[in-house]
Amino acid sequence: MSWNNGGPNGGSPWGAPPGSPKEPPRPGGGGGGGPKGPWSGGPGGNLPDPDELIRRLQGFLRGLLPPGFGGRRGGGGGFGRGGGGRGIALIAAGVFALWLVSGFYRVQPDEQGVVLRFGAFNRTALPGLNYHIPWPVETVLRPKVTRINRVEIGYRSGQGSVPVEQGTDAAGRDVLAESLMLTGDENIIDIDFAVFWRIRDAGAYLFNTRHPAYTVKSAAESVMREEIGRTPIQFALTEGRAKIETDVMKGVQYILDQYGTGVEITQVQLQKVDPPAAVIDSFRDVQRANTDADRMRNEAESYHNDIVPRARGDAARIVAEADGQRQAAIAEASGQAQRFLSVLKAYDAAKDVTLRRLYIETMEDILRRTPTVVVDGNLRGIVPFLPLNDAGHAPPGGGKP
C-alpha cells in the first residue's frame, strides 16, 4: 500500500496516496469529542468498505501526530510537547514489541529448525519453543527430518520424490533409459528399484546441494549400474538380490557423505529384475532348458552317488570274503601239515603201536560209516533180506542196529 512506501509532503508514511483526492483537514482530529477511531462504524453500525477503512486508519494516525507533521496544514513545522509525541512513542513501542514477539517460533517433533542470519546458516534448533531475532535479521526453515522420502529409478508409480522427466508418466510404466543395464557377463537386464531416504542433517541438506532428491537419484543409478556391471545375470535374477541391495545402499551412502548432503539412505528395494521385454520369452525358454539340464545332471549325479558306493561295497565284500577263504585255507592246510608231522614223529618213535593205532582208527572210521548186519549162521537165503540199497548210508545210530 502506498502509505507503507512513502507519500507526498516530505515522504510521510501517513500521507495520502499519490493521485488520490486529498481529504480536507480535520482540526483537532475531527469534531465532537476528540479523534475518532479508524473503525468507528457508519450509519447503522456496519463496517465500511476496505477503502473507507484505510482512509479512516490514515486519519486516525494523523490525529496522533503533532500539527505540521506529515503534510498537515496549519500549525508550526516541529514536534509538539503534547499528545503527538506520546502517540508516536506508543506506536513505536507497540511496533517494536510486536517485532520482538514475532521472533518466537515452534519446531515440531518431526522437524529440525535451521536459523539463518541475513540469509546465511547460523545454527540449528531442537524441537520445542524457540526464539530468534525477528525478520529481517534472522529467519527459520523447518524441514521434516523424520519423514521417509522415496526416489524411484526405472519406473514411476506417482509416489516418488523425483518428478517424471522422460519415458513414462505417473501411471506406473517403465523408464527404459534408467532401467536397462549391462551385466558382468555382457547381458542386458531390466531393473526397477526404489531408494528410501531421510534428512539426517538439516543444515547440510539445505545448503550443500541444490537438489538433494536428484542427487540421491543420480548417485543410486550410478552405483546400481556399477554393481550390475560386476554381477552375472543369473546371480542377479536369483539369489543375488539381497546382496545387490546391501552393496548399493552402502555405495550410495558413501557418495552422499562425500558430497555432504546431510541425507541418510534407509533402504534400497529392488522392485523388478527381469530380462528386457523384447527377449523375455526366449530367455525363459533358455531358463527352462537350463533347468531341465540341471535336473538331469542332478539325477545322474544322484544315480552316480548311489551305484558307485554300492559297487565299491560289493567289491570290498568280495575281496574280504576271498581273503577270509584264503586265510581259512592256509590255516587248514597248515593244521593238516602240523597233524601229519606230529603223526609222522610218533610213527618214527613207535612204529608198531602207531601202525596199530592207525589201523584201528581207520577201521573205526570205515565201520562208523558202513551199516552192519548180524545174521545167524543157520539161516539160508538171506540175500533178499539184506538192505543192499542202503548199504552206502550209515544208519542213524552210528552204524549199529
Residue 127: pLDDT over 90: no
pLDDT score at 61: 63
pLDDT score at 119: 75
CB-based burial, 253-274: b 16+ in 10 Å, e otherwise = bebbeeeebbbebeebebeebe
Angle at 23 between CA 45 and CA 12, to 5 degrees: 110
Residue 29: pLDDT over 50: no
pLDDT single digits (tens) 148-187: 899 999 888 865 444 433 334 444 567 888 888 988 888 8
Distance CA 401, CA 396 (A): 9
pLDDT score at 247: 92
Residue 39: pLDDT over 60: no
pLDDT score at 311: 92
**How does strand 149-153 pair with strand 188-199?**
antiparallel
Distance CA 385, CA 64 (A): 172
**Lookup: cell for 184:** 558382468
DSSP E strand boundaries for 45-126: 104-107, 113-117, 120-125
Backbone angles phi, psi at 221, to 5 degrees: -65, -40
CATH class entry, domain 164-200+207-275: alpha beta
- Among the residue ranges 10-19, 50-59, 96-105, the one predicted with the least confidence is 10-19
pLDDT score at 156: 84
Cα-Cα end-to-end distance for the chain: 154
Residue 400: pLDDT over 80: no
Residue 8: pLDDT over 50: no
Residue 273: pLDDT over 50: yes
pLDDT single digits (tens) 179-192: 889 888 888 888 89
Mean pLDDT of the chain: 74
Region 213-232: mean pLDDT is 92
Distance CA 206, CA 200 (A): 11
**172 — alpha (psi -120 to 50), left (phi > 0) or beta?**
left
Residue 223: pLDDT over 90: yes
pLDDT score at 318: 94
pLDDT score at 326: 92
pLDDT score at 359: 87
Region 85-110: mean pLDDT is 78
pLDDT single digits (tens) 297-353: 999 999 999 999 999 999 999 999 999 999 999 999 999 999 888 888 877 888 888
Q: Which residue has the higher pLDDT, 208 or 9?
A: 208
